Amino acid sequence: MKLFKENKSLGILLIVSIIYVGITFLFINPLRMKNNDLEKQKSEILTLHQQRNTINTISKKEKQVEDIILLIEKNIGSMVDITSITKQSQQTENSNQTILEVRFSSNLNDIFNLNQRLKELNLENSIETIKVQRIQTESNKKSKVNCTITFKVV
């Protein structure tokens, strides 16, 4: 009888273990697999979303640079004769920088008024260099100069 009681408790333990393993294989493993699949899909969606945001950010910066070029052309173009506007892009570790170079000719007095226009456009802080060269003419009555202003847009 004692042997039967020990075997009975071992049998119950064996039956409980089999039920546990069966439940694990039938219910818990499929739930884990679904959870893993959902995690993979979530990471793929997040990766795609980040890539779209990166593309949108780059296009917004390009639009911002184009807007600055149009602002410069519109507001300063009435004061001076713009010869050319050059755009160069540089990529650093932290960010993309765009350098705008505006070449124009004007009277010397208009160059001093130009600073006020740049303040109105909030571009006076992004000026990197200003080069002024005097044009050699026969009559220096108007004091014409060539000027190059370089802006750094981050």
Q: Residue 56: its pLDDT value, please?
A: 62
The CATH number of residue 117's host domain is 3.30.70.60
Question: What is the per-residue pLDDT across 33-63, written as a single tens digit (0 to 9) for each?
Answer: 999 999 999 999 888 888 777 666 656 666 6
If you search the block for the tokens 């071992």, which residue do you land on? 10
Q: Is 37 exposed, middle or buried (0-12, 13-18, 19+ CB in 10 A)?
A: exposed
Task: Look up tokens 């945001």; give the residue.
Answer: 53
pLDDT, mean of residues 9-23: 89
pLDDT at 1 over 70: no
pLDDT of residue 39: 94
Looking at residue 34, its pLDDT comes to 92
Around 3, how many Cα atoms within 13 Å sit in the side-chain half-sphere?
A: 0
Q: What is the pLDDT of residue 3?
A: 60
Give the pLDDT score at 38: 92
Task: Using the predicted structure, report yes or no on whether residue 140 has a pLDDT greater than 60.
Answer: no
Mean pLDDT of the chain: 80
Task: Give the residue-averaged pLDDT of 95-123.
Answer: 81
Residue 23 lies in a domain: no
The pTM of the whole model exceeds 0.85: no
Number of separate domains in the chain: 1
Q: Is 2 a member of any domain? A: no
* 53 assigned to some structural domain: no
pLDDT score of 139 = 62
**Three-class DSSP category at 132:** strand
| Residue 4 in domain | no
115 assigned to some structural domain: yes
Question: Is residue 54 domain-resident?
Answer: no
Q: What is the pLDDT of residue 138?
A: 60
User: Which pLDDT does position 37 carry in this prediction?
Assistant: 93
**Whole domain around residue 129: which residue ranges?**
63-153
Chain segment 86-106, per-residue pLDDT in tens = 888 877 776 778 888 889 888
Average the pLDDT over 17-29 and give the result: 88
